Structures are given as structure tokens and as C-alpha cells.
Amino acid sequence: MKTKKNNERISAALFMLPSFIGMIIFSLLPILISIFISLTDWNGLEKLSPATISKDFIGLRNYTDILSGTEFWNVLAHTLYFIVLYIPLVFIASLIIAEILFQARKGVGVLRVIYYIPVLTSWVAASLIWKWVLSPQYGAVNQILAAVGINGPNWLTDEIWAMPAIVLASVWKDMGFYGLFLLSGLNGIDNTYYEAARVDGANKAKIFFSITMPLLSPSLFFCLIMSLINAFQLFPQVMIMTEGGPNGATQVMVERIYTYGFKYFKMGYASAYSWLLFVIIFALTLLQLKGQKVWVHYES
Amino acid sequence: MSHKKALHTFFYYLLSVLVAVIVLIPFFWMISTSLKSKGAIMALPVQWIPKKPTLKAYKQVFTMFPFLRAILNSLFITVSYTLITILSSSMAAFAFTKIRFPFADKLFKVYLASMMIPTQVTLIPLFIIMNRLGLINTYPSVILPSLFKAFGIFMLVQQLRTIPNDFMEAARMDGAGLFKIYWKVIMPLCSSAIATLSITTFMDSWNDYLWPLVMLTDKSKMTLTLALNSLNGQYGTQYNVLMAGSLLSMLPIILVYIGAQRNFKHGMLEGGVKG
């Protein structure tokens, strides 16, 4: 009997081994190292060891430097600018997509694939495409605008329009994803609610606002948090479309982390930046866990 | 009434086609540009459909950059990454749900908690670790992180919990060992979850940018996304070539998606929230 138990433990250990090794090397160890590095002004070139860490130790100075400078707050402001434009647009677009697919009329299979192609496209390819589509002189967007008599802006080279340009590309890329997510939410709503409402003679708008929206709220809330977390992690589109420019107008957190870490080799400073990013994402995750319990209307 | 219905149908298709057109315009623009010559991309008035279509840009992609190599690199890395993710995650999920062992709950909590750490936090230290191990500019540097994918483990654990233990008991009665049960009983039973996880993992790995960008600097090791990135850096104005490369990089993933659609249930979302 005892050997059987031992055998089970050995098997369990073998089954756990790959992921456990992975967890130590790719998660736990880096987290610990990152905390230490963030407390140093290590230049990234010297060999890292406990000795270099204690030699370069500067306490919390990276954190206080970041928080007391103006750049970090500008970066947050850029992210906020992105969020304010992106969230409403992507929600409207994905609700429309979800509703189109939900009605499941003829041709819906083709539409589903079409709406999902941007999601399948890599951000690198999508950014290149949008950079060209938004070209002031030769791009499709300004051509179309010109056709209706609007003089399109210089998008990516204009400090005011660069972020909206990134928003446009991001909404286009993400709406299919959230659309299909919300579709699965719509599919989860029990049909009897709709039937009851129809019997009561409720009109379409009334049904949408008093049945669909509340019952869809768990999915909507989940999408909201997910899109906020993603908004703080903007990277490839910024890197390829603007590289943080023009004049720093699209600098965002991950772009800063990459630039400080791998262009200036200020590894400590970049690590401190990444922990500030963690704090924001952690707060959003907690909000999500709380929200799921309190705010959201659950079907019981 | 039927008049009203017809109007509804009309607006439904108007809206759905409008959205489809918005989605497709950039792709149309990409294809159209990729078929133009260097001069034609900057010709005014703009040609929506190229006047003299040419495949020159597609040839140039392969001469300006070892693009074929990049395709093969991407294929090799993505397939290995996906296989390892599936094996490692399913093994862990099997142990968590079907074998009793000490500290299982605590370990599972640690795994879950790790999902909260954004990859940007571990990026710099991992670069240092990989550098120490001499793995920078090698395939393993981008493949090995697949050993631990907390999300995959979490998703499969949820799936495996729905499989009654009777299956285990029955197999045990027949004298099957744990490895046999894992491979012959449990894996087939959660094949649809595994298919979903495979496709999302495949997509993520194929389209990944930040991680390979940091790890692979040697042209001969670069993945497709990095190939596009460096073409953009070197030939930033030759959009016909960039668009041809972009199109080529998209094709495999779209084929995989269409081929797998039967199994694909919008991946990430199973077990996420209940509406």
C-alpha cells in the first residue's frame, strides 16, 4: 500500500517536472532578479552577481526618480488619451459585430472569418499596413477623406493625430476578438428572457437595454478590464508606427521599458518601470475579481 | 409586417457589409500595393487597382532579406513552442486534477499567481539568464519559455475537472498505469480543449514580437515578424516590398485558422466568464 502511494508521488513529480522547471526559470527566478535589479543602477554590461548588485545598490532611487520626473506622468497621460478614444470605439464596434453574428443569417460564416482576419494578423504586419494606409499623401484613408472633401491630417507625424491613428489601427485589429467574445456572451443568455419580454410587448430597444445589456454585463466587464490591461501594454503598434514619436507624443510604458533596457542599457531604471506597470495591472486585476462579485449581474 | 421584415434584412446586410468593407480596406490596400512597382506606389492620382500589376515585390522580399529562412524559422519555432506548451500544460493539469500529491493546492496557487506578472517584468532578467546560459540568438531562447504557460495549465485543469474520476478507476481496474491513462484516456477526452489551446498558442507564438526582438538579433535566426521589422528598418519606404512580405507572413496563420475552424471555439474564453 505504501509503495503504491510512493509510486503515485513519483509519477506526480514526473508529470509536474517540465512546468515546474519552467516556472522556476521563466517566472520565479526572473521576478526575484528583477526586484534586485530595480534597486540598482547596474549598466547591463558588467556580469551580474551579488557583488555587482551590492556595489550598484541605490535603494529606491529609480522609483523616486521615475515618479518625481515628468516623463512617467506624460506616458500615463498618453495611455489615458489612448484609453479614452479606444474603449468607446472598440466597444461599439464589437457589440455591432457580436449582434451581426448573433442573428446568424445567411452568409454569417463568411462574415465571421472576415471579421476575424485582423485578429489573426500579427501586430507587426498590421502596423506596417496601417502605416501605409495612413500615409498622408498616398494612403487609402486620406484618399477616401479627400473624396468626401475632407483634408486628412498628417496622422503619424502629427503630435495630436499620432495617438488617434494608433487607436484606429488598434480598434480595427481588436474588434473581431471582442466581438466574438461578446457573441459567446450573447449565446449564453437564456432564450426564455427574450420570449417573456416579447409576450409583454417590449420593443427592440427596450429588450436591448433591459435584458441584453444587463445579462451581458459580466462579459462586458471582463472585456473592459482585459482591454484596459492591454492598453497599458501597448507595444508593437507604437514601436513600428511611431517609435514613440513624434516628439514623444506616443511614448507608452512598454515602449519606455524596452527603450531604457535595450537601447540605453539602463536595466535598473527599466526594471523599476516594469514594476510600476505591474502595480497598475495588479490593481486592474483586483478590480476585476471584486467586480465579478459585486457589480456584475449574474444569471442565477 | 413582411415589408418591415424586408427592411430589417436590408439594414442587417447593409451594416454587416459596411463593417466587412472597413475590415477589408487595409488588406485590399496591402494586396494592391504589393502588386505595384516602386514608381507606382508613389504615383498620383493613387491607383486603387494597379495599372501594371507585377510580382516583382514578391521576388524582392526574398532577395532583400533571407525571407525563406525566416518562414522556416517561424514554422520550426512555432510548432515546437506549441507542442511543448501542450505537453507540459496537459501533464501538469493531469497531475493537479487526477493524482494526489503533497502541496498540490499551494503549488497551483503559485502557478495561478504567476499569471498576474506581466511579461515585461521578466523580460530583462530573462535576457540576462539567457545570456548567461549562452542561449541568445538560438532557437531554444524563444522556444523554452513554452515549458511554463500558466494560462494553458489553468484552462486544461478546468477542463479535466469536468471528467469524472470513474474513467480513471475503470482504467486502473484494467491495470493501466498513470502514463497510459494520461495518454490514452485523459488526452483524448479533452481533445477539443487541447485543439483550442493549440491554435491560440500557435497564433501567439507565430505573431510574437517583443520576446524574439530581444532574443534574436542574427538575421539567419529571425522569425517572420522580425524579418518584417528589419525590412521596415532598412527599406522603410518601399511599401510594395513591405506589403508583399506582410501578406506572405499572414497566409499560413489564416490557412491554419480556416482549417481548424471546426475545432476552434474562440479559444481563450472557455471557462472565462459565464454570461
pLDDT of the residue at A291:
78
pLDDT of the residue at A295:
56
Instruction: Check CB contact under 8 Å for B117 and A278.
Output: yes
Identify the closest residue of chain A to B199 by CA–CA distance.
Answer: A120
Cell digits of residue B22: 472597413
pLDDT bracket for residue B208 (50, 70, 90): very high
pLDDT of the residue at A232:
94
**Is A298's pLDDT higher than 60?**
no
Strands (E), chain B: none
Chain B residues closer than 8 Å to A190 by CB: none
Q: What backbone phi and psi angles, to 5 degrees, belong to A17?
A: -50, -55
Chain B residues closer than 8 Å to A189 by CB: 275
pLDDT bracket for residue B13 (50, 70, 90): very high
Identify the closest residue of chain A to B253 by CA–CA distance.
Answer: A120
pLDDT bracket for residue B189 (50, 70, 90): confident
pLDDT of the residue at B264:
52
pLDDT of the residue at A248:
92
Q: Does B20 touch chain A (CB under 8 A)?
A: yes
Segment A51-64, tens digit of pLDDT: 877 888 888 999 99
**Worst-scoring range by mean pLDDT, A65-69, A104-108, B179-183, B266-270?**
B266-270
Segment B19-48, tens digit of pLDDT: 999 999 999 999 999 998 888 888 777 788
pLDDT of the residue at A161:
95
**Is B83's pLDDT higher than 50?**
yes
Is residue A241 within 8 A of residue A165, CB to CB? The reply is yes
- The rounded distance, in Å, linking the Cα atoms of A91 and B95 is 40
Segment A183-237, tens digit of pLDDT: 988 988 888 888 888 888 888 888 888 888 888 888 888 899 889 999 999 999 9
Is residue B161 within 8 A of residue B271, CB to CB? The reply is no
pLDDT of the residue at B1:
56
Cell digits of residue A233: 501594454
Q: Does B222 touch chain A (CB under 8 A)?
A: no
How far is B208 from chain A, CA to nearest CA, in Å? 7
How far is A58 from chain B, CA to nearest CA, in Å? 18
- The rounded distance, in Å, linking the Cα atoms of A260 and A288 is 31
Chain B residues closer than 8 Å to A129 by CB: 26-27, 29-30, 243, 246
- Residue-averaged pLDDT of chain A: 89
Q: Which fold has domain B59-269?
A: MetI-like fold (1.10.3720)
- The rounded distance, in Å, linking the Cα atoms of B194 and B187 is 8
pLDDT of the residue at A2:
64
Segment B209-237, tens digit of pLDDT: 999 999 999 999 999 999 999 999 888 78
B130 vs A45: which has the higher pLDDT: B130
Set out the domains of chain A in order of their start, with CATH numbers: 2-55 (no CATH), 61-293 (1.10.3720.10)
- The rounded distance, in Å, linking the Cα atoms of A124 and B245 is 11
Segment B124-157, tens digit of pLDDT: 999 999 988 999 999 999 999 999 999 999 999 9
- The rounded distance, in Å, linking the Cα atoms of A92 and A97 is 9
Of the candidates B118, B144, B269, which has its C-beta nearest A278's C-beta? B118
Segment A115-134, tens digit of pLDDT: 999 999 999 999 999 999 99
pLDDT of the residue at B269:
42
The full set of domain ranges for chain B reads 2-55, 59-269
pLDDT of the residue at A85:
97
Is residue A231 within 8 A of residue A82, CB to CB? The reply is yes
* Whole-complex ipTM: 0.87
Segment A257-296, tens digit of pLDDT: 999 999 998 999 999 999 999 999 999 988 888 877 765 5
Chain B residues closer than 8 Å to A285 by CB: 116
pLDDT bracket for residue B266 (50, 70, 90): very low
pLDDT bracket for residue A297 (50, 70, 90): low
pLDDT of the residue at B82:
96
Chain B residues closer than 8 Å to A100 by CB: 12, 15-16, 19
How far is B40 from chain A, CA to nearest CA, in Å? 10
Compute the average pLDDT of residues A244-261: 92
